[in-house]
Chains A and B, each alone.
Chain A
Amino acid sequence: GAGVSQTPSNKVTEKGKYVELRCDPISGHTALYWYRQSLGQGPEFLIYFQGTGAADDSGLPNDRFFAVRPEGSVSTLKIQRTERGDSAVYLCASSTLGAGDQDTQYFGPGTRLTVL
């Protein structure tokens, strides 16, 4: 079946602009995660959704970052007033269950964001 998809695959924007990154999880997966991977680093947790609600947004770096999942499926990560330091690959993952040892997270290919 189809895996996690993310659009766009690449996004180049100018400092100060607003961007939206989209994640389409595997059908039926209730849990959705966003991570950010900076160059030479491992992915870092940003936010976790269980259904429509953000159950943990402790990884969002500041109030310029916001994410929604209005219908419990597709999620959008929104970044306002982008800064050069926001340049990274933004990864989305989904899983079937919220917790427990069966919770394997399946990752999308990521969106590479470049802020000029």
Chain B
Amino acid sequence: AQSVTQLGSHVSVSEGALVLLRCNYSSSVPPYLFWYVQYPNQGLQLLLKYTSAATLVKGINGFEAEFKKSETSFHLTKPSAHMSDAAEYFCAVSRSTGGGNKLTFGTGTQLKVEL
């Protein structure tokens, strides 16, 4: 079975500081990996996805993630946090099913950005 583990349910950073949100995956086959962001009372929005084309994936809003097979990790980073980045972030792994792709999500990391 495929799964993802997000380390740290809450992360707090200062505005302008580096953001690092951790995600480790478990998969018996090369995975598709995703990071989604959820703002309060809104749906999930895709930040970026890894589909084996390149190990360093750039997403929206200045976020990027690096796929490291040796560490089974897909950590999300942003060089400089902004107040608007405060939200909940979910890592997910995809598994093919009946022609579709079923997402398995981690438990989420709440990011707080302080002045």
Separation of A65 and B12 alpha carbons in the complex (Å): 38
Whether A56 and B32, one on each chain, are in contact in the complex, defined by CB atoms closer than 8 angstroms, is: no
Whether A48 and B107, one on each chain, are in contact in the complex, defined by CB atoms closer than 8 angstroms, is: no
Whether B101 and A44, one on each chain, are in contact in the complex, defined by CB atoms closer than 8 angstroms, is: no
Q: B residues within 8 A CB of A110? A: 43
A2 at the interface (CB under 8 A from B): no
Separation of A110 and B36 alpha carbons in the complex (Å): 15
Whether B98 and A50, one on each chain, are in contact in the complex, defined by CB atoms closer than 8 angstroms, is: yes
Whether B100 and A104, one on each chain, are in contact in the complex, defined by CB atoms closer than 8 angstroms, is: no
Q: A residues within 8 A CB of B41? A: 109
Among residues of A, the one whose C-beta sits closest to the C-beta of B41 is: A109
- State the interface size on chain A (CB cutoff 8 A): 31
Interface on chain B toward A: helix, strand, loop, or mixed SS? strand
Whether B43 and A55, one on each chain, are in contact in the complex, defined by CB atoms closer than 8 angstroms, is: no
Knowing A56-B97, A91-B44, A101-B51 are in contact, say whether A45-B107 is a contact too (CB < 8 A): no
Q: Mark B25-44, 1 if CB is under 8 A from A, else 0.
A: 00000001000100001111
Whether B102 and A107, one on each chain, are in contact in the complex, defined by CB atoms closer than 8 angstroms, is: no
Of A14-22, A35-43, A71-79, A80-88, the one contacting chain B is: A35-43
Knowing A50-B98, A50-B99 are in contact, say whether A41-B44 is a contact too (CB < 8 A): no
Whether A44 and B43, one on each chain, are in contact in the complex, defined by CB atoms closer than 8 angstroms, is: no
Contact of A42 among B52, B94, B107 (CB under 8 A): B107
**Least distance between B100 CB and chain A CB atoms (Å):** 5
Minimum-distance CB pairs A-B, first 3 = A55-B98, A42-B105, A101-B51
